[in-house]
Structure 1
């Protein structure tokens, strides 16, 4: 597969749902690399878009996008054609996992938020903040270092907590993908295991061990065994379907 840069990714046309599913089928069943390339080119903008949330350094951005493309390949390998979900929704977890894992290896790419650079170049920062950003860019100080009383960092002061529309859409897509994966994972559990997980792990206010044990007419020790077994099975299924290990800690 030929590499694809940002400009080319933005120009690629999106596949219709039947087209993307046919491309996935041809890749999974026939090993058709041409079909895989069509699928990846159509969704390359997803990898670049998510990568751009972490860095505006061209070299690092390219590395992160490449990790996102690997996530797309893994998503194509494991996508279930029986599920009524678009590929971009399912692939979002794989792409984000690949990129977020890669960030740890090139941590310097997020020392200086892109907003801070824009405001510095447009003259919107105070002299003190301007100097701090320049120091961070030169590797003299990290923006996540504590300042003042230690409760805030320079990063806290320079980064807006509000999401932009693209981040809102990505967050919603990830939330839907998470719900779908958890629902699919619960299907591998028996009735008792699924009930315990729902009541003890998936509610905003989990039921107590005693309440669940009474409702299910089993001892506390038995309930603990069921819960441990269910969590082990659930963890395995989630990891197989796109969750990163750090999300399950």
Structure 2
């Protein structure tokens, strides 16, 4: 049985590395449902932790956490046991994709940010802002409604651009997973395609079409064909391994 709250999820102990990998192997090789449940229960805290960042509404938290659990299952399906990485790090990408995609479907207006509620309750917020948050929590004010001259919404005014330490750590873990996925995707290209992608897409200052065509002694039309073919292969690999379409535009 899956935990029904963030507190319940936090009480479930994490698996040791060998237990974690054994559960993944049993699920991938034999379809062992008990192994999958053991793995998901021990990492359900990831789904709940992500869900509570997006809403204070218990009903919506449960819905978002359920989407996060689906992300954990997809991660269990796709995890490469040959990689030297913990399941929680790899699964973080799938959980975030599941929760963030579901958040916009569940409600057209996301609840008040957790940080804003914390600041209100600790007395660190102006009285006027406290009133806005209170009304929003009661469903009286839509946070995306325009305010003042119409150029800013209540959400714009309340959300801090600074990352919390937890968000910073999560972002770094996801960046590492993304980098490994891109490196794996590059191995599916031939030498010519890989060189074009590295020099046109992965350098701090990408080379222009003209510069690279001259350097590789090919026509610009030929270079465009190679680049398009390589990007199509990369997109297919990355989408199959958890990248969101919006990130590949």
| Shared fold per TM-score greater than 0.5 | yes
Q: How far 1:123 moved relative to its partner? A: 4.7
Q: How far 1:176 moved relative to its partner? A: 0.5
What's the secondary structure of 1:110's corresponding residue? coil
What is the alpha-carbon distance in structure 2 between the residues aligned to residue 187 and residue 132 of structure 1? 52
Equivalent positions of 1:31-70 (< 5 A) are 31-70=31-70
What is the alpha-carbon distance in structure 2 between the residues aligned to residue 33 and residue 148 of structure 1? 55
Q: How far 1:38 moved relative to its partner? A: 1.2
C-alpha distance after superposition, 1:102-131 (max 9, x if no partner): 011123562422233334445544343233
Alignment-derived partner of residue 155 in structure 1:
155
C-alpha distance after superposition, 1:80-109 (max 9, x if no partner): 112222111111111111111101112356
Q: How far 1:196 moved relative to its partner? A: 1.2
Equivalent positions of 1:112-151 (< 5 A) are 112-151=112-151
Equivalent positions of 1:155-174 (< 5 A) are 155-174=155-174
What is the alpha-carbon distance in structure 2 between the residues aligned to residue 186 and residue 76 of structure 1? 23
- Tell me the TM-score normalised to structure 1 length: 0.92
Equivalent positions of 1:84-233 (< 5 A) are 84-108=84-108, 110-233=110-233
Alignment-derived partner of residue 4 in structure 1:
3
Q: How far 1:77 moved relative to its partner? A: 0.6
What is the alpha-carbon distance in structure 1 between the residues aligned to residue 99 and residue 64 of structure 2? 5
Q: How far 1:138 moved relative to its partner? A: 4.1
Alignment-derived partner of residue 30 in structure 1:
30
Q: How far 1:37 moved relative to its partner? A: 1.1
CA RMSD of aligned residues (A): 1.8
Unaligned runs of 5+ in 1: none
Moved more, 176-185 or 142-151: 142-151
Q: How far 1:241 moved relative to its partner? A: 0.7
Q: How far 1:146 moved relative to its partner? A: 3.4
C-alpha distance after superposition, 1:110-163 (max 9, x if no partner): 242223333444554434323322333344432233333444332222222221
Sort the Cα spacing of 1:189 and 1:152 in 2 relative to 1 into closer, same or farther, 3 A.
Answer: same
Moved more, 150-159 or 32-41: 150-159
Q: Retained in 2: the 8 A contact 1:43–1:88?
A: yes
Q: Retained in 1: the 8 A contact 2:15–2:42?
A: yes
C-alpha distance after superposition, 1:154-206 (max 9, x if no partner): 22222222211111111111111110111111111111111111111122322
- Tell me the TM-score normalised to structure 2 length: 0.92
Query: How many matched pairs?
Result: 248
What is the alpha-carbon distance in structure 2 between the residues aligned to residue 43 and residue 111 of structure 1? 25
Q: Retained in 1: the 8 A contact 2:44–2:69?
A: yes
What is the alpha-carbon distance in structure 2 between the residues aligned to residue 100 and residue 158 of structure 1? 19
Unaligned runs of 5+ in 2: none
What is the alpha-carbon distance in structure 1 between the residues aligned to residue 52 and residue 137 of structure 2? 18
